[in-house]
Amino acid sequence: MSRHYIAIAALAACLIVIEASAHAGGLQLATRGVRPTARGGAFIAGAEGLSSFGFNPAGVAKLAREERPYSALLDFGFVHQSAEYTRIDSGGNPQAPVSNEAPGLPIPTIAGSMQLGDDAALALGIYAPYAGLGKYPEAGPQRYSLVDLSQSLLVISELALGYNLLDDRLRLGVGLQNMVFSMDSTVAFSACPGETICAPEDPEFDAVGRVSQLSLFNPSAVAGVQFDIIDQVRVGAALQLPFFIGGSGQIQTRLPSSGFFEGAEVRGDVAEVSFTLPAALRFGVELTPLPRWAIELAVQREFWSQHDAFVIQPKGVRIEDAAGVGTYEVGELRIPRNFEDTWAVNLGVEGQPLEALPLSVLAGYSFETAAAPDSYLSVLTVDGAKHMLAAGAGYQLGAWKIDAALAYAAVGDREVTPDEGRSPQLNPIRDESDEPLEVYVNWGEYSSFWLVVGAGLSRSF
| DSSP for 276-304, written as a single string | EEPPEEEEEEEE--STTEEEEEEEEEE-G
Structural contact between residues 39 and 390, judged by C-beta atoms closer than 8 angstroms: yes
Structural contact between residues 122 and 160, judged by C-beta atoms closer than 8 angstroms: yes
Report the half-sphere exposure of 116 (CA within 13 A, side-chain side): 12
Residue 196 has a pLDDT of 67
At 88, phi and psi to the nearest 5?
-105, 120
Residue 10 has a pLDDT of 33
How many Cβ atoms sit within 10 Å of the Cβ of residue 317? Answer: 22
Count the residues in the chain: 461
Mean pLDDT of the chain: 89
Residue 432 has a pLDDT of 55
DSSP conformational letter for 7: H
pLDDT digits (tens, 9 = 90+) for 399-437: 999 999 999 999 999 999 999 999 999 887 765 555 556
Domains contained in the chain, number: 1
Residue 14 has a pLDDT of 37
Considering the chain, what percentage of its residues have pLDDT values greater than 70?
Answer: 91
The CATH number of whichever domain residue 344 belongs to comes to: 2.40.160.60
| Domain housing 166 | 3-460
> Residues of the chain whose pLDDT is less than 50?
1-26
Closest to 106 measured CA to CA, from 36, 33, 51 = 33
Closest to 378 measured CA to CA, from 184, 188, 200, 142 = 142
**CA–CA dist 460, 398 (Å, integer):** 9
Residue 18 has a pLDDT of 33
Handedness of CA 292, 297, 299, 300 (dihedral sign): positive
Closest to 133 measured CA to CA, from 119, 147, 143, 118 = 147
